[in-house]
Chain A
Amino acid sequence: MKINIKINNLNKTFNIDNYGISLLDLLRREGYKSVKKGCDTGTCGVCTVLLDGKPILSCSLLAIKANGHEVTTVEGVSEEAKIIAEYITAEGGDQCGFCGPGLVMAIMGLKNENLEINSESVKEYLAGNLCRCSGYEAQHRGIMKYLEVEK
C-alpha cells in the first residue's frame, strides 16, 4: 500500500508492505533518528512527535493511520528546538538526553494548545514524558522560563 505523509513540511510517499509497522519504526527507517524508542507499552513518551500539531506517541500509531496527515519531528523544527534546548540545558535539565527530543516535541504541542500556563498545568500536560535522570525539577525550571518568555 502507498501512503502519503507530510513530514516536516515535505510531502513523502512510502510503500508499506507490513501494515503493522508503527509510525515510529517507519520514521526511524526513513532516517528520522531523533525519534527514540524506550518501551513497548506507550508509556515513556520518548517517541513523541506531532501529528497535525498535536503530540502523539509514534510507537502507538500505525504508520498507515498517518496517511494524509502532517507529522513533525524535532528535525523539522530545529530552530525552535534549539531555543527550548538552550533553556533546558541552562538549568542542567538534560542528562542522558534520551527523553529530550520527545520532550521538546511535547513542549511544542503544549505551546500550540490554548492552555493556561502554570506549574501544575505544565506538569500535567507533560506527565507522559518520563525522564529517569533529571528528577524533572531542572527540566521544569527551564520549561517554565521558556514558556513565560515565549508566550
Chain B
Amino acid sequence: MKEVKKSIPKVDGVGLLMGKPAYTNDLAPQDALIVKILRSPHPFAKIISINTDEALSIEGVECILTHKDFPKKIFTRAGQGYPEPSPYDKFVLDEYVRYVGDEVAAVAAINEEVAEKALKKIKVEYELFEPVLDFKKAKDSKIIHFEKEAHSMFEIGFNPERNIAASYNMNVGNVEEELKKCDVVVESKYYTQPQAHVMLEPMVATSFIDYMGRLNVITATQVPFHIRRILSNVLNLSINKIRVIKPRIGGGFGGKQAIHGEPYVAMVTLKTGKPAKIIYTRKEVFEATYSRHEMEFNIKIGADKDGLIKAIDVDVLSNTGAYGEHALTVFMVAGSKTLPLYNKVNAVRFGGDVVYTNLTPAGAYRGYGAIQGNFALESVIDELAEKLKISPVEIRTKNMIKEGETSPIFKIMGEGREGVEMNIQSCKLDYCVKRGMELIKWNEKYPKKAYGNKIRSVGMAIAMQGSGIADIDMGSAILKLNDDGSFNLLVGATDLGTGSDTILSQIAAETLGVSTDKIIPYSSDTDLTPFDTGAYASSTTYVSGNSVRIAAENMKKMILEEGSKNLGTDKVHFNGEEIIRDDNKNKISLKQLSELLYYSMNQKQLVADGSYVGKKSPPPYMASFVEIELDTETGKVEVINFVSVVDCGTPINPNLAKVQVEGALVQGIGMTLYEDINFSNGKMRNNTLMTYRIPDRRDVKKLTVEFAESYEPSGPYGAKSVGEIGIDTPPAAIANAIFNATGVRIRSLPITPEKVFKAMEMKK
C-alpha cells in the first residue's frame, strides 16, 4: 500500500493554522442580520403572552419571531437517519418552555448591540409549573410532554404519560437462573454525570437567498443532509428550495449532530429576504444545546470460581432532559457496545428507561452511551476479579471476545432497532492487552507502590465501539477527472476536524494508484456533493471510505477503457501516471489522455460514483492501562501515563488515527476526574469555560498510543473506525487504578479529590 497507512499531514491543516477564512462565521455575508434568541429563565412554564411592541420599535430591529411565526410542525433536533429513532417532541418555538434556556423568541437586528437591547425589551408573561429536576424521580411524576402532536416515528417505547422518552428491554437466556448457579455474584450501582462537548467553535449558522431564489444555509454541522431534511419539515419548504453548505467546522463531538440555530436564521431570511447569522454564546452552547446523557446503572454479574463469567444483568436509567433527542439510541449503545466484549456468558439482560426532566437536553456525544456503559461494566469486572482473587488481566483474558467469534447481542441490539448478525473477522484484543501490559510495565507496577503520602498504582479497562450503523447509514462519493490528470473528490461526508477529507483522499489515491496530492477533496454541500448521512457513529472512514473506494474503482475502469481506445488494445494497465500497453509498445500519460478527452478527441467527461451502506459494523477494540499517582492527604489523582493499544484495523493515516485516540483519551480523562455539569433549581451553575473546566496542556503528562496489526476485510484497505473508541476507557481504568491504590471503589463520576478522600476516610 502506497498512499494508505501513511502519515501525511491533513490537507487543510496549514491553511487553518494560518488563519485562512474557512469556518461559517468567516464566510457569512458581511451584512447579515444578527439573530439572538430570548431564552426561558424558568425550567417549566407556559407562555401566557409575549409583547414585542417595544422591542420592535427599536431602530435596527428587523423582525422578531415567536411561536406564532413558525408552522406548527413537530420534529426532533436529532440529526439521525430518517425516520429517526427519537421522538418528535419539539416545535422550533412553542408556547411551552421545558428547561432554562429553551427558546422563547428570536430577534433579528442590524448588529449585536441592537439585538441584545431588543431581547431585554420583550415582555413575556409565564405561568410557572413545578419542574421535574431529579431524573431518579422523573418516571410517573409530572408529565412534561402533553402536546397532542408528540409521537414517535416507530416503536421506541415512547410513553409521555409516564414521562418516558424511550425504553428498551432485551434478554438472552435466563439471567436469574444463571446468577443463582454462580459461585460469585457482584451487584453494584454506578453513576455517570452529564458532560459538555466544549468544541471550541460554538454553534453558528448563516443564511441568505441566492440569485435563484433558493434558501442557502451555511452551517457548522456534522449532518448537512439531515439539516436540509429537517429544515424542509419545520419551514414547510421543499427540499429542492434549500441548499446546505458545511464549511470547516471547529469541532463537534456529537454536539453538532443536530439542528440548532439553523431554523431561526432561515426563517429570518425567508421573512425579511435578508441574510442572517446566529452565533451561540458559550453560555448558550452549555445551556441550550446538548450534554451527555446522565445515567445510572444497576449491574449484576456472576461467575464460577474459575472466573468464567456466566451472566450479566444491567438495568439502566438515562436522563434525556427536556427533549428526547438520541434518547433510545444512546441508551442502547450503552449495552450494544459493551456487552459483546464478554461473549462467553449464558445469559444477559439489558434494559430500562430514558426519562424526561426539565433540564438541558442530552444528545449525541462521542462514546454515545458506550462510555457510560463501559464505566459500569469495566468497573464491575474488576470488582468480580477482586472477589475471585484473580487479576483484572486474567479475568478479561478468559472471558473476552476473540477473532472469529460472535455475540448474540450483535443481532439483537442495533441502534434504535434490531442489529445485524456478524462474526468478528478482526479482533486483536488479546494482543492489545499483552502489549499494553508491557508498555505500562504492569507486572512491575501492579497493584501499587507507596512513596510517603503518594501512591502509584495501575488499572486497566478494555473497550469496543462500532463502525457506522449497519444497514442504515450510507455514504457516497463522486470522482471527476480534470484535464491535468488530477481528480475532484466530492463527498457528502463531513470533516469536522477528524481529518476525514485527507483520509478519504488517501483511499481514493490508493485505489486509483495515484499520489494523494492528485486528489482535491470537497465536503460537503447538499447541492454539489452526493448524499451522506453525516459524521457520526464512527462511520466516516468505514462507510464513506468504502464509497470512495468504490467510486475510485469505477474511475479506474473508465481510465483503462479510454486508455484502451487510445492505445488500440484492451490489454493495458495504469501505473498512476501513464496508461501503458501490456506489451509495452505504446503508452499515454493520464494528463495527455485527459487533454484529449476534454479538448480534441472522443470528447467526454469522466465522472465516477460510488455508494456504500454497511452490512455490518465491525467494532474497533482497545485495551487501556493507566498509571496514576494518588495523594493520600488530599485524594487528588494524577494521570501519569495513559497507555492505549488500539485495534482499528488498518489505520489509513496513523498520525491522524493516533491523534483521534489521544484527543478522545483526554476528553475521557476530563470526564473521569472533573468535568461535570451542575444544576441548581434547574439552572446550570457552571455554564462558562471558567466554571466548567476542561483539561489544559498541563493536565496531560503522558499518553502512549499504539496500534495493533489488524485488517478488517470489510473495511476500505482493512480499516475500521477510530473516532469514538478512545474516550471509552478512562473512567473505568482510572477508577480501577484508584481501587488498586487504596482499596476504595468510586462508583460515581467525576472522581473528585473530595470523593476519593472521603471514601478513604470512611474505610479507615
Contacts and interface: CB of A to CB of B under 8 A. Distances in A.
Most buried by A among B9, B26, B113, B659: B659
B367 to A, nearest CB: 14
A127 B659 contact: no
Size class of the B contact interface (CB-based, 8 Å): 35 or more
B85 to A, nearest CB: 28
B43 interface: no
B427 to A, nearest CB: 25
Interface in A123-151: 123-124, 126-138, 140
Interface string B148-175: 0000000000000000000000000000
A123 to B, nearest CB: 4
B17 A46 contact: no
Interface stretch (A62-70, A94-102, A110-118): A94-102
Nearest to A81: B18
B282 A135 contact: no
Contact of B10 (A28, A94, A128): A94
B696 A97 contact: no
B202 interface: yes
A91 B658 CA distance: 10
A33 B18 contact: no
Contacts, number: 184
A98 B21 contact: no
B568 interface: no
Contacts of A127: 696-698
Interface residues of A, number: 55
A97 B17 contact: yes
B665 interface: yes
B232 interface: no
A134 B13 contact: no
Contacts of A58: none
Interface string A75-101: 100100110111011111111111111
A85 B697 contact: no
Interface SS of A by simple majority:
loop
Given A40-B282, A123-B697, A135-B666, A82 B688 contact: no
B703 A137 contact: yes
A34 to B, nearest CB: 2
A136 B666 contact: yes
Given A44-B689, A96-B249, A85 B666 contact: no
Contacts of B690: 41, 43
A94 B253 CA distance: 15
Nearest to A129: B697
B198 interface: yes
Contact of B248 (A46, A82, A93, A96): A96
Contact of B200 (A75, A88, A91, A130): A130
Contacts of A133: 199-200, 251, 497, 659, 663
B81 interface: no
A98 B495 CA distance: 13
Nearest to B664: A135
Given A90-B9, A124-B698, A137-B662, A95 B18 contact: no
Most buried by B among A81, A97, A123: A97
A74 interface: yes
Nearest to B23: A98
A101 B279 CA distance: 19
Interface string B326-340: 000000000000000
Contacts of B21: 33
Contact of A130 (B248, B497, B694): B694
A123 B700 CA distance: 9
B224 to A, nearest CB: 16
Nearest to A139: B697
Interface string B188-227: 0000000001111110000000000000000000000000
B497 A135 contact: no
Given A46-B200, A74-B18, A134-B662, A97 B700 contact: no
B601 interface: no
Interface string A37-73: 1111101101000000000000000000000000001
A13 to B, nearest CB: 20
A88 B23 CA distance: 20
Interface in B516-574: none
A18 interface: yes
Contacts of B482: none
A100 B17 contact: yes
18 contacts: A34-B20, A38-B689, A41-B282, A44-B689, A89-B14, A89-B17, A90-B9, A96-B199, A96-B200, A96-B249, A97-B13, A98-B201, A100-B17, A123-B698, A127-B698, A132-B200, A136-B695, A137-B703
Q: Which 10 pairs, one residue from A and one from B, show the smallest C-beta to C-beta distance? A: A34-B19, A96-B497, A97-B16, A98-B250, A92-B655, A135-B662, A89-B13, A85-B17, A101-B19, A100-B17
Interface of B: 7, 9-10, 12-14, 16-23, 25-26, 113, 197-202, 248-251, 253, 279, 281-283, 496-499, 653, 655-656, 658-659, 662-667, 688-690, 694-698, 700, 703
Interface of A: 18, 28, 33-41, 43-44, 46, 73-75, 78, 81-82, 84-86, 88-101, 103-104, 123-124, 126-138, 140
